[in-house]
Structure 1
Amino acid sequence: MNLRQLEYFLAVVAEGSVSRAAATLHMTQPPLSQSVLQLEKQLGVQLLSKHHQGVSTTPAGELLATQGRQLLRWSERLEEQVRALGQGLAGRLHIASVPTFAWGHLPPLLKAYAAQAPDVAVELSDPEPAEVLRQVAAGGADVGFVATSDPEGLAAAHGELVMAVVLAMPLVAVVPPRFADLPEPLDLAELAGEPWILPSASPGFPGLPEIAERLWQEMGTRPSSVRTVSTLQTAVPLISADMGISLMPHSVADIAGSRVRIHTPLQPVQPLYATLVRARHIQPPPVLARFLEVVQHPYTGEL
């Protein structure tokens, strides 16, 4: 028994007549009658009883009609689910993103993606940058976002990954409230005696510590001390408590609100680059391919 035979049988049951069912199905009566007879032969049981008004189901036919309707509904749902999965409209997508990108820039991408594929279950994690690369390369995450000062160098060091710059994130000076009255733009050399707060350097991963080191060299000065933290978000309460200053993307600094002050640096400061990473050896599944289409607009290209 196949679904086509079942559909024909259910049409005959619904119409109570082979001729009326044939008209409904836009086919001639002989092949429809032959299909029902073939179904009865395969099952070894009579399904329909003929009478002067048409046909009616036998007990076996009634059972097949009842269960068959459920089977066809289940088949339709299964077809829809499989089609949705193949089109990237259903499934699961794991994104590993550093907080620097996730807090300010990932939400609009997720919103746009959810509008296209609301049935995809999105999993989001925020490991350290080197772990983002490891997870994506190993297939533990479908796609990742990191913030780096040297996307070209990072791509050259990780041939197993495809990388693409999503956007540049200009850096601003984030200082305690007592510096609210400093002129704009802020000459960072005037704060040479202040301690700095920066994320810990990650070997082989160029980031904010390298940008700060280059800036100090260009200014010909170094801070009195450098406190390291796990993430830039961790630095915000320390800056608010007047324990140091930092550089960070504006989107991260905005999280602190009035607890800190934000200034544009007078000195040229290299930006961080939000960079998308995915495994080179893994063909993007439909859910990832659709997400990449959503992110495609701000791409500057593969590195």
Structure 2
Amino acid sequence: MHPRLLKTFLAVARSRNITRAAEMVHLAQSSVSDQVQSLEAELGAVLFTRSKSGLELTPAGLALRPIAEELLRLDGEARAAVQAASGQTSGVLTIGALETIASARLAPWLPGFQASHPDIAVRMKVTDSGTLLRQLEDGDIDVAFCFNRRDVPNGGADQRFARQTIAAEPLVLIAAPGQNLVPCDLAALAAKRFVATEPGCIYRHMFDTAFAEAGIGASGFAAEVGSIGAIARLVAAGAGLGLVPRLAVSDAVQRGELIELPWPGRAQVAPLTMIWRRRRVQPPALRHLLAAARDTLAPPHSGTGSGSESANRSKALFPNNSGKAVVS
């Protein structure tokens, strides 16, 4: 069974749709159908059946799926082992990230990494945190950069994945210029109108946690929108206040489009984390990228906090973090 056929089979199994599977593996729909038929002919069994909700795995397909996943994992490890043994460092890496991390952290950082490693080609996919984890699980990306949830130990870590927190990004309270609001306590602040992302988003979780830790719930929202960029624009227009990672709005604050207000409670930070799949042997290209990200991809000291204050916030949040990534 050729790995290419197994990858296509898994794409169809996960998407339950030939069109979506073709997009996932970058093939024409006819090629996806041909590859599935070739695999069925090789195995002598029908792998899919049609239903009203899409393509369903047959008993034979269900039996093949976990084995196909394991075979592709072993194929990747075999290639990585050969590359490591022969001293090869070249390769193609696909990284995934939240939009704010991609634009504010990865975009300025990647050119330097690629200049230092010209034999490593890097692609980037930008999406939400839930999709990032699915893409990592499916092998569509090699590493994900996102914000970790602090209410779940180890971010609810799947043992198939390794995680490393590389920075503690401050959350900041933002408002439109001209608003002379100086909140005296969290209770008074919670009574104000906010612009936030929708429930289920990692940014909304950060917002809710900031008040929940003090036993307070925000009273209402001026708007719930799907992106940090939209929040910044609505806040700048005077729709309400916002609580967002500083990296998402630092440029707008510097341009005077937004102002940063003091947060009356305990300083809030968002753990910026990279996640990758555990392997017995990591591809050399990925190992280089992980090491470079650990050592150099850190937020610059900005805003009202000094470098020592930022370090103290990081130590308070991650007291056992040695700063060294364990590449598993």
TM-score band (shorter)? 0.5 to 0.7
- Alignment check: 8 A CA contact 2:93 2:123 kept: yes
Alignment of 1:274-293 (within 5 A): 274-281=272-279, 283-293=281-291
Q: 1:160 to 1:189 in 2, by over 3 A?
A: same
- Deviation string for 1:198-232 (max 9, x for gaps)? 22233xx7x33233223334264523326322221
How much identity, in percent, do the aligned residues show?
A: 23
The residue type equivalent to 2:145 in the other structure is F
Instruction: Name the CA shift for 1:300/1:268 in 2 (closer, same or farther; >3 Å).
Output: farther
Per the alignment, residue 131 of structure 2 pairs with 131
Secondary structure, counterpart of 2:159 in structure 1: coil
Residue 214 of structure 1 is matched in structure 2 by 209
Matches within 5 A, 1:81-92: 86-88=87-89, 90-92=90-92
Give me the whole-angstrom Cα distance separating, in 2, the residues matched to 1:86 and 1:264: 52
| Equivalent pair of 1:93/1:121 in contact (CA under 8 Å) | yes
1:158 paired with 2:136, answer no
Residue identity matched to 1:135: Q
Q: Secondary structure at the match of 2:122?
A: strand
Unaligned runs of 5+ in 1: 1-81
Q: For residue 189 of structure 1, report the CA deviation from its aligned partner.
A: 4.2
Amino acid at match of 2:282: P
User: Match for 1:242 among 227, 238, 242?
Assistant: 238
Change (3 A) 1:300 1:186: farther
1:122 equivalent to 2:117? Answer no
Partner of 1:296: 294
Q: Does 1:229 align with 2:225?
A: yes
Partner of 2:250: 254
Contact 1:171 / 1:247 at 8 angstroms: preserved in 2?
Answer: yes
Would you say the 8 A contact 1:197–1:246 is kept in 2?
yes
Cα distance, 1:301 vs structure 2: 4.4
Question: 2:195 — aligned with what?
Answer: 197
CA contact (8 A) 1:95 1:144 kept: yes
Q: How far apart, CA to CA, are the structure 1 residues paired with 2:229 and 2:246?
A: 12
Change (3 A) 1:197 1:103: same
Farther off after superposition, 125-134 or 186-195: 186-195
Aligned to 1:68: none
- The amino acid across from 1:209 in the alignment is R
Deviation at 1:93, TM superposition (A): 1.4
Larger relative CO (CA 8 A, sep 6+): 1 or 2? 1
Unaligned runs of 5+ in 2: 1-82, 299-322
1:271 corresponds, among 259, 269, 274, to: 269
User: Structure 1 pair 237/120, CA: closer, same or farther in 2 (3 Å)?
Assistant: same
The more displaced of 169-178 and 219-228 is 219-228
Q: 1:93 to 1:111 in 2, by over 3 A?
A: same
Rg bigger for which structure?
1
- Give yes or no for contact 1:173–1:248 (8 Å, CA) kept in 2: yes
Q: 1:201 to 1:159 in 2, by over 3 A?
A: farther
The 8 Å contact of residues 96 and 126 in structure 1, kept in 2 or not, is answered as: yes
Map of 2:171 onto structure 1: 171
Relative distance call for 1:153 and 1:100 in structure 2 (3 A) is farther
Distance 1:146 1:267, change over 3 A: same
Partner of 1:39: none
Distance 1:112 1:248, change over 3 A: same
2:284 & 2:151 partners in 1: Cα distance?
A: 26
The code of the aligned residue for 2:198 comes to S
Is the 2:148–2:155 Cα contact (8 Å) retained in structure 1?
no
Return closer, same or farther for 1:264/1:100 CA change in 2, 3 Å cut-off: farther
> Aligned partners of 1:190, 1:151: CA distance in 2, in Å?
25
Does the residue aligned with 2:220 lie in a helix, a strand or coil? coil
Deviations 1:73-112 (A, max 9, x none): xxxxxxxxx99x9532x33111101123222222353133
Partner secondary structure for residue 156 of structure 2: helix
Q: How large is the Cα RMSD of the aligned pairs?
A: 2.9
